[in-house]
Every structure is written in C-alpha cells, then in structure tokens.
Amino acid sequence: MASVTTYTQARATLAKLCSEVVQSREIVVIRRRGAEDVALVAADELRSLMETAHLLRSPKNAER
C-alpha cells in the first residue's frame, strides 16, 4: 500500500525518502497543494511495471 506525504515534507527529507522507497519497494504519493499529486517509486519497480504492462498488451500473454 502506498504511503502519503506532503510536498514540503518530501522536500525536507528527500534523501531519506528515496532510500526508504528503494529499500521497501513501496510507493510514496506526494501531495501538492494546487497541483496533481505525484508518486515516488523505485526505478527497478517502475521498469518492472512497464514491462508487465507491455507484455499484457498481447492478448496471448494476458490469458496466462
């Protein structure tokens, strides 16, 4: 499950937050006042999600 933080808190603790995201493989949603929220995710996790989405585009793979 994703955790949530504010933009201000994320900015103040960015290095620590990045380390936690890489270690835990959890997503952190960053809430921004007056703007869309963004998500911080480990690059390896993002690559994995993108690869899965790519593979599932094929109906044959999606059946598996």
**Phi and psi torsions of 11, nearest 5°:** -65, -40
How many angstroms separate the CA atoms of 32 and 17, rounded?
16
What's the mean pLDDT when you consider all of the chain? Answer: 94
How many angstroms separate the CA atoms of 9 and 16, rounded?
11
For the chain, the domain total comes to: 1
How many angstroms separate the CA atoms of 38 and 4, rounded?
10
Q: For residue 64, what pLDDT is reported? A: 67
Structure tokens at 32: 């921004």
Domain that holds residue 47: 3-63
Mind listing the pLDDT tens digit for each residue in 4-30? 999 999 999 999 999 999 999 999 999
Mind listing the pLDDT tens digit for each residue in 26-57? 999 999 999 999 999 999 999 999 999 998 88
How many angstroms separate the CA atoms of 61 and 64, rounded?
6
Residue 8, domain CATH: 3.40.1620.10
Q: For residue 60, what pLDDT is reported? A: 77
